[in-house]
Amino acid sequence: MKGFTVWLTGLSGSGKTTIARKLQEQFLTMGYRAELLDGDEVRRNLSPDLGFSKEDREIHARRVVYISKLLARNGIISIVSLISPYRAFRAYAREELKDFVEVYVKCSIDTCIKRDPKGLYRKALNGEIQDMTGIQDPYEEPVNPEITVDTDRQSVDECVDTILTRLNQLGYINTLIEERSNAKQGKE
């Protein structure tokens, strides 16, 4: 099968990692090969030398695009969960990767600040961090993403279902949603 990239973009705390993990689980259950390139883990391994300036974020993201390209080229679904705040950069990723599905993980900044899973917003609001996306740095919303999920309103499972349904409509996966729910319930 042909590989492709599912690129999750959104504010810190919007739910990218949570959704990406569940999505990977679903792909594996459905018999696809899928790898997850998650912002934090990949950064620790691939770019320990880099910070969060616009330049560093871009160098890191270019490395991620490169790995994603290698995976997709080998028939693996690559799930990338990276804030990727700049429109121009995501356009570059789309251009490089071709089979590229942009998922906007939409969530209000207020909810993200409330969730603050890593305590980063608190630090940014206290002035301990200077380059936090959504506080000091911009987040440029996708203009025309293939998929938008709204984590203010949808549950994690609903978000994952929305993504799988759309991937099916786009022809990237051919497993029907009905088959998945039957499998979930242990039916043939």
By CB under 6 A, residue 24 contacts ligand ATP: no
Residue 144 or 155: which CB sits closer to ligand ATP?
155
CB of 70 to ligand ATP, least distance (A): 23
Q: Which residues contact 42 (CB under 8 A, 6 or more apart)?
A: 64, 67, 82
Q: What's the rounded Cα separation, in Å, for the pair 22 and 131? A: 29
**Residue 84 annotated to the active site:** yes
By CB under 5 A, residue 17 contacts Mg ion: yes
Taking CB under 6 A as the binding criterion, the range among 5-13, 53-61, 135-143, 166-174 that sits at the site for ligand ATP is 5-13
Number of Cβ atoms within 10 Å of the Cβ of 60: 21
By CB under 6 A, residue 60 contacts ligand ATP: no
By CB under 6 A, residue 15 contacts ligand ATP: yes
Region for 22 from its dihedrals, namely left if φ exceeds 0, alpha if ψ lies in -120 to 50, beta otherwise: alpha
Of residues 148, 180, 158, the one with CA closest to residue 27: 180
The residue nearest ligand ATP at its CB is: 15
